[in-house]
Amino acid sequence: MELKRQIYPAIAITAVLTVLLGIVYPVVVTGLAQVIFKDKANGSLIEKNGAVIGSKLIGQPFSGAGYFHSRPSAAGSGYDATASAGTNLGPTSQKLLENLKTAADALSEENPNTPIPVDLVTASCSGLDPHITPAAAEFQVARVAKERRMNVDEVRTIVHQHTEGRQLGVLGEPCVNVLELNLSLDSVRPLPK
């Protein structure tokens, strides 16, 4: 008898909480997000000519000389959102040192005698960082300007327009969204064919 008095309320509470927290709450939160923050709730997707070409929140590889390059990625085979991860290589790892040297050597050919920003040779923790530092963007300005047959100051101006400041003026560091920057360059001066 005592057991029945405890089981029925426990089953009833479990059923009510399952419906409230497993169905009603997610539906209400999803509905509010779609009404109040539609762009963010749908992944901050960027469309071009009616097709989704990326997200403001997830990095992508850019390899052409006329594009600003993103941070290296260790996520899966590179920028794989289903395999988000860093390299997990420690500071004494020989493989890490070899990777850094290879990347630094390639970048040194691009800009001899210029300090290489660290974010151009190291992956972020997620491997999906869509941003680079303003220093990393500045490092690439001359190459991009040359390939697009633009004045260096024109490219710098576009970089400055896409430089985001610190959040709330104090959190984080200034950064540049690589996808948005490259799309802006394509709209201003498409790559010559």
pLDDT tens, 148-164?
999 999 999 999 999 99
Shared domain for 156 and 126, answered yes or no, is yes
Per the domain annotation, does 193 fall within a domain? no
Question: For 15-29, how does the pLDDT look when each residue is reduced to its tens digit (9 = 90+)?
Answer: 999 999 999 999 999
Q: What is residue 125's predicted lDDT score, i.e. its pLDDT?
A: 79
Shared domain for 53 and 10, answered yes or no, is no
Strand intervals (E) in the chain: 45-48, 51-55, 131-132, 163-164, 175-177
Shared domain for 55 and 32, answered yes or no, is no
Confidence of residue 68 (pLDDT cuts 50, 70, 90): very high
Question: For 99-130, how does the pLDDT look when each residue is reduced to its tens digit (9 = 90+)?
Answer: 889 889 988 888 888 899 999 988 887 878 88
- Number of structural domains (the chain) is 2
Residue span of the structural domain in which 1 resides: 1-42
| Phi, psi of 176, deg, nearest 5 | -130, 125
d(CA 42, CA 63): 27
